[in-house]
Structure 1
Amino acid sequence: MTSYVKRVGDLTDEDGFVDCAYATEASTDSAFDPVTKPLHYAGHTGIDCKSAMESMLGTEAYVSHMQACAFKYIWRWRDKNGIEDLKKARECIGNMIRAIEGDGDE
């Protein structure tokens, strides 16, 4: 296991096994939502993919990525997931606004 994983919240015990109690809890967490917090974006440590992405890319590149995602969801909404894709586009735009405004961290 790398030191990076240890820093961000490694879920393995000293023998290298994943804490099954956490994995079960995460998979049934009602806070997960297909639009705002999809379970498959939580990763094995529970770290939100969007947060990790913004940290890695920086705000400018993250905002550009969210803009491209919003465009994709708006482009395909009628042919793929309907209203859910419009909600995903709205979520991407909200992510852009939060990143630009600094989410109140300052």
Structure 2
Amino acid sequence: MKKAFILIESISAITIISLIFIGIFYYYIQLYKNYENLNIFERLYKLQEELYEKPIFKTIILQTSALKPIVLQEQFVNDGMFQFQKLYFQDQNYSVYFKE
């Protein structure tokens, strides 16, 4: 009778300990998923900061029959996964581009 009681006590202790460890395991899985999202947001923030501080420049010239050549300047940064871009008119006087 005493051995049966010890067996039941051991099984219940193992069950309780396993439930505790399962809870801890799922808690760490959730922390890891949140860390991955935080890492992506951190990369986006750094890339946006780099776009304003030290972008790569590229000049684009658009030529159409109705308009004079339009000169645009593209600023971009790239980190392999994400790419941010900005477009600017070289000359801010937009009336220059229309033919009269």
Normalised by the shorter chain, which TM-score bucket? under 0.3
- Which structure would you say has the larger Rg? 2
Structure with bigger helix share is: 1
TM-score w.r.t. the length of structure 2 is: 0.26
Structure with bigger strand share is: 2
